[in-house]
Structure 1
Amino acid sequence: MSIDPMIPPRSNRKLRSVIDNLALLRVFVAVVETGNFSHTGQRLRVVPSTVSKHISALEKRLGGQLFVRSTQKLGVTELGLRLYDHALAILQDVEAAEIDISEYNSEPQGILKIAAGTVFAQRHLAPILIRFLEANPKVSLDVSLSTTSNHLISDGIDVAIRISDALDPGLIAVKLAPNIRLYCAAPAYLAREGTPARASDLARHNCLVVRGVAQSAQWPIKGETGATEFIAVSGNFVADNVDLLLQAVVAGVGIGHLPLFMVYDLLASGDLVEIFPDSRAVASHIYAVFPERRNMPLKTRAFIDHLKAEFRPPPPWAVL
């Protein structure tokens, strides 16, 4: 006769049913430690008859006697001593688990996986993350930087920082700041080629284009009537990396249409000069996005709240 490996032997099933019943184990351990049913009842706040019923049920399930009863005291049998060691270890593990879960739910802790775009993260994310760690010492950060969007659920990402005007469906998004774009060039370029005075002047200028970005070769600029015109531009430098393009703009190669969060300090220092300041515009927004969860881990909620606080009030590069 074959035996199904998924079905434990009868004796093991009895033991399993005992171990699964923590209430029986708690009563049993208390009886061993107090030495009688009355004291156990006082400890567990139940009547002695209930303690007696629990012990009888436990002995029946195990098929053996756990205590030798006398008029004066209870003696623990060899079977009882063996069960006590196991039961005590089980209850201690359960208590440790309860404490751990309670602490987890009362204070942010654990590994928080974050994804962000490289360009924004390298300029602005590091101090934000450092302040979060200082406020939440039991949290560890695992940060992934990429020029492409991660798939949050399959990649196990808790929170992603994204700059977009079209987010993935099914994600929860918290708007942090506007992504403002503007036109700028190095003083050396403007001294050499002249400063464009109107939108149509861009046709004769060397305009550096970011490949794959919306409106990369059709620049929106306010015309003389105040309406937005889309000007077709071109130049001798096209790149799919905004940082590389920025370096070319700073070196005086041509004019760039770039995010304010990248060039704010360069404008303040004079390394770049803004062109068409009335044409500053919100191209998209910076979001914290995360999968929809009914029971969000405390570490994730704490980080999202931290991000909200970091962007209130908005930083100077997020103001038109």
Structure 2
Amino acid sequence: MPSPLFAPSAQRTLSRRSWLHSAIAASTAFTTAGLGLPLSAQAKQAATYPARPLKVIVPYPAGGVIDVTARAVTDALAQRWGQPVIVENRPGANGNLGAHAVHQATPDGYTLLIGSMFTVINPLTDSSTRYRTSDFVPVASIGSTPNVWVVPASAPWHTLHDFLAQARQQPGAFNVANPGQGSSNHLGVERLAAAAGIQLTQINYQGQPPFITDLINGQLHIAPLTATLALPHIQSGKLRALAVAAPTRLAALAQVPTLSEQGLSDATVVPWSGFMAPAGTPEAIVAQLQAAIVQVQAQPAVLQRYAALQAQAPERPQDFAQLVQHEQQRWALVLGRTEQTAKAR
């Protein structure tokens, strides 16, 4: 039976659920054996890498937060290598169009993907997905832009607990935005409803910008909105911030507590993204890519571009594989699914 998390309706009610929180064993294997080439050929290939332009596929429209964050890193890589690093935006099918293109590419380190939560969620929920999470090698994280739980400035709630208290008294009475099935915003809504024991009426939108006007005007009562988009409206007094869905507070919203600080750590869903290569990419090339990304992310110019987006740079970009594996375990457990059952539907 399909999970109610992904029921294809424009409007539905979220109910309290019993969620499992223990870890599960996973057999995620990130193959880096490399093209079947002899070790000597792999070493020679790695020694001259990169010898030609690279292509990085971003499965989102140009100008979005992930796209701009990725370009901060690719621009720095191009300068470091003296080779063009071409960003190609290929949005569509909730990230699958771009991911399929990279999945089918030659695993030689010259075609990369900016992967995010969809690379874990889609194989679990979308039967049209033609890849598994393990079909990509997580190379290095490019960080995250946390979501902020916001309400209209005209709303009566000044703390998240004020809102939750009223939501418990009036199940289903309050509208919440969902900008995309399986997005960090959508999953954050689900986790908050479960953790707080509330029912919210979910309204679906195509992305975040379309719902901002409805939120400001009070047609929506609450929403998790990426900090990049939320901050200007908070500063202008049109929206009020109640909580930050991040491990720590944001510097630009230092007065706004995190969900964890309000006793709702289980509701924290942090969006993430990073460079991925097709499985089979030579291990030596993956190592070179990773080292280069780690080094350029520490450059002041890159960090300044991150700060302008309210993006949080990862402390250890090289731990991306562990992050992806952890996320795969978490959502497989929450959804009660495996990649195999998703493909069999």
> Normalized against structure 1, the TM-score is what?
0.51
What is the CA-CA distance between 1:310 and the residue it aligns to? 5.0
Which residue does the alignment assign to 2:334?
Answer: none
Can you list the C-alpha shifts for 1:200-229, whole angstroms capped at 9, x where unaligned?
43454332222413673854349xxxx932
What is the CA-CA distance between 1:162 and the residue it aligns to? 1.7
Which of 146, 149, 154 in structure 1 is aligned with 2:104?
Answer: 154
Which residue does the alignment assign to 2:206?
Answer: 240
> Hey, what's the Cα distance between the residues in 2 that align with 1:284 and 1:192?
27
* 1:170-249 mapped onto 2 (5 Å cutoff): 170-173=135-138, 174-178=140-144, 180-185=146-151, 189-191=152-154, 194-195=157-158, 197-202=162-167, 203-213=172-182, 216=186, 218-221=189-192, 228-234=195-201, 237-246=203-212, 248-249=214-215
> Normalized against structure 2, the TM-score is what?
0.48
What is the CA-CA distance between 1:252 and the residue it aligns to? 5.5
Whether 1:307 aligns to 2:310 is no
In the alignment, structure 2 segments of 5+ residues that lack a partner are 1-42, 121-131, 244-256, 261-267, 315-345
> Hey, what's the Cα distance between the residues in 2 that align with 1:250 and 1:303?
43
State the secondary structure of the residue aligned to 1:317: coil
Over alpha carbons, which structure has the higher Rg?
1
Structure 2: which amino acid aligns with 1:112? L
Checking the alignment, whether the CA contact within 8 Å between 1:199 and 1:221 is kept in structure 2 is no
State the secondary structure of the residue aligned to 1:273: strand
* 1:1-320 mapped onto 2 (5 Å cutoff): 105-106=47-48, 108-118=50-60, 119-146=64-91, 147-149=94-96, 150-151=99-100, 152-155=102-105, 158-164=111-117, 166=120, 168-173=133-138, 174-178=140-144, 180-185=146-151, 189-191=152-154, 194-195=157-158, 197-202=162-167, 203-213=172-182, 216=186, 218-221=189-192, 228-234=195-201, 237-246=203-212, 248-249=214-215, 253-254=219-220, 255-260=222-227, 262-263=229-230, 267=234, 272-276=239-243, 277-279=257-259, 281-293=268-280, 295=282, 303-311=289-297, 317-318=311-312
Structure number with greater CO (CA < 8 Å, separation at least 6) is 2
Structure 1 pair 134–252 and aligned structure 2 pair: CA distance change class (3 A): farther
Can you list the C-alpha shifts for 1:140-178, whole angstroms capped at 9, x where unaligned?
414233242312231457221122172712321134435
Which residue does the alignment assign to 1:35?
Answer: none
Structure 1: which amino acid aligns with 2:56? I
Please identify which structure carries the higher strand content: 1
> Hey, what's the Cα distance between the residues in 2 that align with 1:271 and 1:302?
46
> Hey, what's the Cα distance between the residues in 1 that align with 2:71 and 2:238?
24
- Coordinate RMSD, CA, aligned: 4.1
